[in-house]
Amino acid sequence: MSDPTFWRTEIWHPLSVHFPIALLLLATIAKLLALFLPNSRADFWHRGGAYLLYAGTLLAWLSIYTGDMADGIVSRKLCDPTVLKDHEIAAYNLAYAFSAATALELGLRLKLVRFKTGLLQVVVVLLMVVGSGFLAYAGHLGARVVYQQAGGVNVPAGDCAGF
């Protein structure tokens, strides 16, 4: 028997947040690989990484929106909401880093930027590596909120009433 209150506002964040985690980490790996491959093979990984980056960045901002929706509900119940605050700060930092990478990557792909393109490709990857660092940290803090403080989690009654 399922809990009738499953579709709570705070549920939208965990439903949406795992897509950008996967997409952005794969995008970073693809772009890193492309840097070390010969030109003939690098284009596929550059292009694939770029598409993953665009989708992941869009979904990262969507996840920040759903996280903001959850924040007002979850923070009131946590024993240490400062962890959630740090999670939020790390999330914004990763979104800024990947957004900057996306803007630069689009500029290069659409040939709006035509100088030092090789060097700027390295800058894109560096932004993505920095963003991935913040992504890992934000994920770690998000896990601490859920698994240490039961943030957003429905805790059943001791007698399992309702199940």
Partner 1 sequence: MKNAKLIAILFLLMAPFLYSCQESTDVVESGTYQGTVDEVEADKTEIYVKTAEGQVLELYFTDNTTLTRNGETVAFDQLQTGQQVEVQVEKVGQRLDPIAVRILE
Question: Contact residues for partner 1 (CB under 8 A)?
Answer: 71-72, 75-76, 78-82, 85-86, 88-89, 92-93, 96-97, 119, 122-123, 126-127, 129-130, 133-134
- In the complex, least distance from residue 78 CB atom to partner 1, rounded to whole angstroms: 6
CB of 163 to partner 1, least distance (A): 27
Token match 């429905």: residue? 154
Nearer to partner 1, 19 or 100 (CB): 100
Smaller CB distance to partner 1: residue 85 or 109?
85
Q: How far apart, in whole angstroms, are the C-alpha atoms of residue 154 and residue 12?
A: 14
Q: How far is the CB of 2 from partner 1 (least distance, A)?
A: 29
| Residue pair 53/92 in contact by the 8 Å Cβ criterion | no
Give the nearest distance from C-beta 54 to partner 1 in angstroms. Answer: 21
Distance of alpha carbon 90 from alpha carbon 132, whole angstroms: 10
Tell which residue, 106, 108, 128, 126, has the closest CA to residue 117.
108
**Residue 38 structure tokens:** 């010969």
